[in-house]
Structure 1
Amino acid sequence: MVPAADALLLLSFGGPERPEDVMPFLENVTRGKGVPRERLEAVAEHYLHFGGVSPINALNRDIIAAVEAELVTAGIELPVYFGNRNWNPMVEDTVARMAADGVGSALVFPTSAWGGYSGCLQYHEDIARARTAFGAGAPELVKLRQYFDHPLLIEAFADAIRAARERLPVDLRAGTRLVFTAHSIPVSADDAAGPPADGGRLYSRQVGDAARLCAAATGFTDYDLVWQSRSGPPHVPWLAPDIVDHLDVLATEDVAAVVVCPVGFVSDHLEVIWDLDNEAAEKAAELGMAFARAATPGTDRRFAKLVVELISEHLRDTRSRRLGDVPGYGCTRNGAACVVDCCAAPRRPIGGK
């Protein structure tokens, strides 16, 4: 039997929208993780550089408006709600509002395409926490599947890569190096991601598969996958190399132009505009290297179409469209673990997108 749903919940990470929210937001993100105060103050400066406003909430509201329009086009009547893990609107408040509006069951679209703890399981924890906070009678919530290799996502990234290359000097385009980035996580967390029988490393393998698909779609045979936004202590190994360090390496190889594609992000999170548009772009300029950053797909109409396709998989039993070679998984109701236990929690939970 195809399940019914009364609503869609877009579930995201959250971000401050005024300067006085920055430190409380960062305290929410890092609660229980032993992050020193001086580290929070350093990260706070990144937000304050942009007036204390993260772009993520506004971008998510734009996504919601686009999804609402696509739902109308598809003939699917679902109100769309918005909740966050770390800042207003908090998911607990949103689930309470959904219940007050008479929503008995809803699908949940996470703004993360990936498996692993912070990419998947932590969203289940958000769902479970919100339902527990409400108590008896909380809406049933079904998290939509991982979508890292959905054709519409790959198409949107591919067009963004082509557009970025067109912004480079004409005489350097032929030799452009394509560099993909995604949010780094501890190596131990990546090793634990994925069913044991599948060999782990689900997150980095999915990111690598998405990069491969995007490169193939744009005709690049030479590309690199690197990482960004590391936040852990120096003695803990994280996925490497970092994008800024990698630009130094490319300079030794006489690479004159790069297109950087943040394949691990669906929208221009603060980490994208700080780590790439500021730090990486400044490093490239220092090295005399032409630099262009590909857009993220959240503002592309195809992204809203992707969301509606995932909804249709549940409501209309339509076929799942996937391009990749790496497994992707769907999940169960009400914040339970994925059916195949695809996303193990690390010993100390790691924040993510």
Structure 2
Amino acid sequence: MPFDSPRENLPAEEPVPYASAAARPGRPWVEEAVAYDGVLLAGFGGPEGQDDVIPFLRNVTRGRGIPDERLEEVAHHYRHFDGISPINAQNRALKQAIEAEIARRGIGLPVYWGNRNWEPYLEGAVQEAADAGHTTLLALATSAYSSFSSCRQYREDFARVLESTGLAGTVTIDKIRQFFDVPGFVAPFVDGVRAAVAGFRRQGIASGAIRVLFSTHSIPLADAERSGPRDVDFGDGGAYAAQHRAVAEVVMAAVDDDVAWELVYQSRSGPPSQPWLEPDVNDAIAALPAQGVEAVAIVPLGFVSDHMEVLWDLDTEALQAAEEAGLTAVRTPTPGVDPSYVSGLVDLIEERLRGTPVAERPHETALGPWFDVCRPGCCENVRAGFKPAAAGVAP
């Protein structure tokens, strides 16, 4: 492996704020049963009408001083779809699917759903849980990988909400581990890539002329390098890139080792002077014909459902780039509410309810199973530094 195991050289135990008694000591994995009485489904949120778009984007960019004129420049993605992001509908469907699987297993936990950036907000979800007497919550964030925006920012949201509602000290919030390599998350990508490659071959396209591009959201290079535990060397791009590479390797090993693949990035939004993870998916597509590639499968590996970055950046821009390059192209599915994915998420809930020993926890890569309790200094926000956060050792 090009990096040390994340189990090595871990710091001594330290207390974890806002946590259950079992998670509070700060051990990487909680291997004792916890009597959670509610699940908190935490989402990003999205507008559900044209009038919502700019207020939503103000929420997303709060604290950065970006004027509405500049926000309107990026609002056209939402305007194109009548101001409606699909993400809230997808989270409603995911909530219902999780509730159904929880009921099928007889677990008996309610699921509360709240967003960071749009209604229903996390504040309301946590207050609703507390009002119902559910004060030991296990959070499930709708993001599989480690970075500030996909993990630590949710943890900071939980701390902020507990303080702003006055429920700190009454409600505790733990968080299930990052699930990038959980079998139920990986399986839909395997199915999608396998179907795409088989479809290309039915068209007479040889393996050497097929390319698989695994796409995820680009983030600033400085943020990527700070993703994951700070005392572990994950190589270029930190834990964020390492996790994606590891999952892509698993997918391709299950599909066909003869087909070449590449990890690419999308949806960059920063200034040109700021280094972000590269290559961009559209640049990678434009370069493929010169490499003898005839067909490309675009895999939204960094996304759990078909939200705006998938519908616009991949289904619109990337597929158009492939058409312009003369390539046969398909975009493979996201997990969405695939039964394997939903079952895998509920497995993770049961894992914490039972205190499953780390040696018995399923994972598809050598990086897993990831931590229940985030490590000190994990996923720092370069711009703002560390803020109070739940579900991890301070800072």
TM-score bracket for this pair, using the shorter chain length: over 0.9
* 3-state SS of paired residue (2:137): strand
Q: Structure 1 residues 298 and 130, CA, compared in 2 at 3 Å: closer, same or farther? A: same
Structure 2 residues not aligned, in runs of 5+:
1-31, 386-395
Q: Which amino acid aligns with 1:131?
A: L
Q: 1:154 aligns with which of 183, 186, 203?
A: 186
Q: Is the 8 A contact 2:48 2:85 kept in 1?
A: yes
1:180 corresponds in structure 2 to 214
Map 1:159-308 onto structure 2 (within 5 A): 159-168=191-200, 170-172=203-205, 174=207, 175-199=209-233, 201-221=238-258, 222-308=260-346
Distance 1:8 1:346 in 2: 30
C-alpha displacement of 1:166: 4.6
Structure 1 residues 84 and 239, CA gap change in structure 2 (3 angstroms): same
Does the residue aligned with 2:265 lie in a helix, a strand or coil?
A: strand
1:1-31 CA distance string (max 9 Å, x none): 4111111111010001111101100110011
State the Cα distance separating 1:327 from its structure 2 match. Answer: 5.2
Shift of 1:51: 1.0
The 8 Å contact of residues 188 and 341 in structure 2, kept in 1 or not, is answered as yes
Q: Which residue pairs with 1:335 in the alignment?
A: none
- Structure 1 distance, partners of 2:147, 2:324, is 36
Structure 1 SS opposite 2:329: strand
Task: Indicate which of 128, 147, 151 corresponds to 1:120.
Answer: 151
Determine helix, strand or coil for the equivalent of 1:297: coil
What is the alpha-carbon distance in structure 2 between the residues aligned to residue 157 and residue 187 of structure 1? 26
Task: State whether residues 230 and 376 of structure 2, in contact with CA within 8 Å, keep that contact through their aligned partners in structure 1.
Answer: no
Partner of 1:2: 33
Segment drifting more, 298-307 vs 258-267: 298-307
Q: 1:315 is matched with which residue: 344, 353, 358?
A: 353
Match of 1:140 among 172, 182, 185: 172
Gap change, CA 1:257 and 1:310, over 3 Å in 2: same
> In structure 2, the residue corresponding to 1:54 is in which secondary structure?
coil
2-structure distance, mates of 1:148, 1:58:
23
CA distance in 2, matches of 1:114, 1:78: 25
8 Å CA contact retained: 2:40, 2:113: yes
- Per-residue CA deviations over 1:44-64 (Å, capped at 9, x if unaligned) read 110010111101111111111
What is the TM-score with the length of structure 1 in the denominator? Answer: 0.93
Q: Percent identity?
A: 44
Q: How many residues align?
A: 344
1:165 Cα deviation from its structure 2 partner: 3.5
TM-superposed CA distance for 1:97, in Å, is: 1.2
Please say if residues 115 and 328 of structure 1, whose CA atoms lie closer than 8 Å, have aligned partners that are also in contact. Answer: no
Amino acid in the other structure paired with 1:111: T
Native 8 Å contact 1:179 1:259 kept in 2: yes
TM-score by length of structure 2 reads 0.83
Q: Which residue number corresponds to residue 132 of structure 2?
A: 101
2:381 — aligned with what? Answer: 345
* Contact 1:167–1:292 under 8 Å retained in 2: no
How far has the Cα of 1:38 moved from its partner?
4.0
Is residue 223–residue 379 contact of structure 2 (8 Å, CA) maintained in 1? no
Native 8 Å contact 1:95 1:138 kept in 2? no
- Contact between 2:41 and 2:141, CA under 8 Å: does it hold in 1? yes
Unaligned runs of 5+ in 1: 333-337
What's the offset of the Cα at 1:331?
Answer: 3.9
Contact 2:362 2:369 in 1 (8 A): no
Q: 1:61 to 1:16 in 2, by over 3 A?
A: same
Using the TM superposition, name which of 189-198 and 77-86 deviates more: 189-198
1:228 & 1:163 partners in 2: Cα distance?
Answer: 23
Given that residues 54 and 68 in structure 2 are in contact (C-alpha distance below 8 angstroms), is that contact kept between their aligned partners in structure 1? no
Report which stretch shifted further, 165-174 or 241-250: 165-174
Stretch of structure 1 that moved more, 217-226 or 33-42: 33-42
Q: Is the 8 A contact 1:165 1:173 kept in 2?
A: no
Which of the two has greater helix per residue?
Answer: 1
Per-residue CA deviation, residues 289-333 of structure 1 (Å, 9 max, x unaligned), is: 11100100122111111111111111122332112123553244x
Residue 299 of structure 1 aligns to a residue whose secondary structure is coil
Alpha carbons 1:165, 1:292 under 8 Å: kept:
no
